[in-house]
């Protein structure tokens, strides 16, 4: 997909603040520091639209990005970051759960994992949560450029096995440095629209 326009339209914490449109939405979930902002910026051809922070756990709201006036990316707070209070984490959890379980515009979740490491317990819990609620899931394995091409399949196998990936869920090798996987990711997302 050729992205000609993209902008953040709202940062929401409750359903009353969600955009009132019927546009398809794709929720981006992943650990803090896994490269969600870099993924968004690469997919949208924008350098600093999604702010990349050196401090994990920065995203504390549901950030809605309007793309080409036809769909939304929804960046949800990263999980698994220790320096956030338990009560704050519980509030994020509730906010995320409310969005995932009640938003009719949600077409699929994009679970972003770091290809270099096996998915964490938090990644597995997120994947299981999505499966429990029958939410289609596309797994994006980022930082592919940090691993020699000849070892990609080996690392992918570990990711698939750790998540216990279902056959109909797709996984995409991705690099926000080289653009690897960008076209494939767009074509999968478009199939859900």
Residue 55 domain flag: yes
43: domain CATH number is 3.40.50.300
What pLDDT, on a 0 to 100 scale, did the predictor assign at position 53? 52
- Count of structural domains within the chain: 1
Q: State residue 36 phi and psi, 5-degree precision.
A: -65, -45
Place of tokens 């794709």: 26
In the chain, pLDDT over 70 holds for what percent of residues?
92
Residue 62 domain flag: yes
Domain of 156, in residue numbers: 6-191
Residue 109 domain flag: yes
Mean pLDDT of the chain: 90
Q: What is the pLDDT of residues 43-93, one digit of tens each?
A: 999 887 876 554 444 557 899 999 999 999 999 888 766 566 777 767 777
HSE-up of residue 58 (Cα within 13 Å, Cβ side): 12
CA distance 25 to 75: 10
What pLDDT, on a 0 to 100 scale, did the predictor assign at position 42? 95
Residue 50 domain flag: yes
Residue 111 domain flag: yes
What pLDDT, on a 0 to 100 scale, did the predictor assign at position 60? 75
CA distance 117 to 137: 20
Residue 1 domain flag: no
Place of tokens 């998540």: 163
What pLDDT, on a 0 to 100 scale, did the predictor assign at position 84? 63
């Amino acid at each position: 997909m050729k992205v000609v326009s993209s902008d953040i339209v709202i940062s929401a914490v409750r359903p009353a603040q969600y955009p009132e449109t019927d546009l398809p939405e794709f929720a981006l979930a992943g650990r803090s520091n896994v490269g969600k902002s870099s993924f968004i910026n690469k997919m949208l051809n924008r350098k600093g639209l999604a702010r990349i922070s050196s401090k994990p756990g920065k995203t504390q709201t549901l950030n809605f990005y309007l793309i080409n006036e036809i769909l939304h990316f929804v960046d949800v707070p990263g999980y698994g970051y220790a320096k956030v209070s338990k009560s704050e984490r519980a509030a994020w959890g509730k906010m995320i759960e409310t969005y995932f379980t009640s938003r009719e515009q949600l077409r699929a979740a994009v679970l972003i994992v770091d290809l270099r490491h096996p998915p964490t317990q938090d990644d597995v819990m997120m994947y299981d949560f999505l499966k429990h609620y029958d939410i289609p899931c596309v797994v994006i394995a980022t930082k592919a450029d940090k691993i020699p091409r000849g070892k990609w399949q080996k690392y992918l196998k570990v990711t698939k096995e750790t998540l216990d990936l279902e056959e109909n869920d797709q996984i995409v090798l991705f690099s926000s440095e080289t653009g690897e996987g960008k076209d494939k990711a767009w074509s999968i997302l478009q199939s859900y629209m």
